């Protein structure tokens, strides 16, 4: 069964004025769609065709052969983008009490978390992703290059921001810092983050 492009969880213009419909149409309908299309071509007729997306990523991870690297990159980008759309919300919200307490415990408050996340996102050299993860019972901020999702190293992924230029260039040009600031202040779907964290606690129980 071929991998499918999941629809956006909201309309293309739902994140305006922070992210334009033009950016969303290119980012989801062209970039994300292209990763899905390339992945399907690469795995066609192989054993990976029948695997889950996560299995494809874990199987090809660290495999230096050219085709396996391409499969990893495209599969990871499909996963990352689907996850990223869910991290964005048309309505500004704040973390609910239990999540806020975890952020307080790990970072010393939401402002400090925001600062740490922004630094990771802005300082990621070239294309990549900034992440909030749960790792060894602690919340941590990480950044990764190109397509790598931190779950390949065992982290539970809670939040991400795409810092490839295609994510922000039409709306913010070279000002990645402004894009990340708006992401943190206006767009984070904290209920989604909380639901991811709740999954971890259930599976740990």
The only residue of 83, 131, 164, 192 in contact with Mn ion, by rule CB under 5 A: 164
The answer to whether residue 171 forms part of the interface with Mn ion (CB under 5 A) is no
Shortest Å, Cβ 200 to Mn ion: 25
C-beta of 139 vs 187, nearer to Mn ion: 187
CA-wise closest residue to 157 among 73, 70, 76? 76
Residue nearest Mn ion, Cβ-based: 162
Only segment of 100-108, 148-156, 162-170, 189-197 that touches Mn ion (CB under 5 A): 162-170
- CB-facing half-sphere around the CA of 74: CA atoms within 13 A: 21
* Rounded-to-integer distance, Cα 147 and Cα 157, Å: 14
C-beta of 99 vs 167, nearer to Mn ion: 167
The answer to whether residue 117 forms part of the interface with Mn ion (CB under 5 A) is no
The answer to whether residue 162 forms part of the interface with Mn ion (CB under 5 A) is yes
190 contact partners, CB below 8 Å, separation of at least 6: 89, 93, 94, 95, 96, 99
C-beta of 106 vs 160, nearer to Mn ion: 160
Shortest Å, Cβ 35 to Mn ion: 9
Only segment of 62-70, 120-128, 154-162, 190-198 that touches Mn ion (CB under 5 A): 154-162
* Rounded-to-integer distance, Cα 25 and Cα 3, Å: 20
Q: What is the DSSP string of 2-19?
A: ----PPPSS-TTTTTTTS
C-alpha pair distances (Å), 73 with each of 19, 120, 173:
25, 21, 25
Site string (13-52) toward Mn ion, x via CB under 5 A: ----------------------------------------
What is the sign of the dihedral through the CA atoms of 119, 79, 166 and 20?
negative
Shortest Å, Cβ 24 to Mn ion: 11
């Amino acid at each position: 069964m071929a991998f499918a492009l999941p629809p956006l969880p909201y309309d293309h213009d739902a994140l305006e004025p922070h992210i334009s419909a033009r950016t969303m149409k290119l980012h989801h309908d062209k970039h994300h769609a292209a990763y899905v299309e390339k992945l399907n071509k690469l795995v066609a007729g192989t054993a990976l065709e029948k695997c889950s997306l996560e299995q494809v990523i874990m199987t090809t991870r660290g495999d230096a052969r050219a085709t396996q690297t391409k499969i990893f990159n495209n599969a990871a980008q499909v996963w990352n983008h689907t996850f990223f759309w869910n991290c964005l919300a048309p309505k500004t919200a704040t973390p609910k009490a239990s999540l806020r307490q975890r952020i307080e415990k790990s970072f010393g408050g939401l402002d400090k978390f925001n600062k740490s996340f922004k630094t990771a996102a802005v300082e990621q050299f070239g294309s990549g992703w900034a992440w909030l993860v749960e790792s060894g019972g602690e919340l941590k901020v990480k950044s990764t290059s190109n397509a790598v999702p931190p779950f390949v190293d065992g982290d539970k992924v809670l939040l991400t921001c795409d810092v490839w230029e295609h994510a922000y260039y039409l709306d913010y040009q070279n000002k990645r810092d402004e894009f990340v600031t708006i992401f943190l202040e206006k767009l984070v779907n904290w209920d989604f983050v909380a639901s991811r964290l709740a999954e971890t606690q259930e599976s740990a129980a």
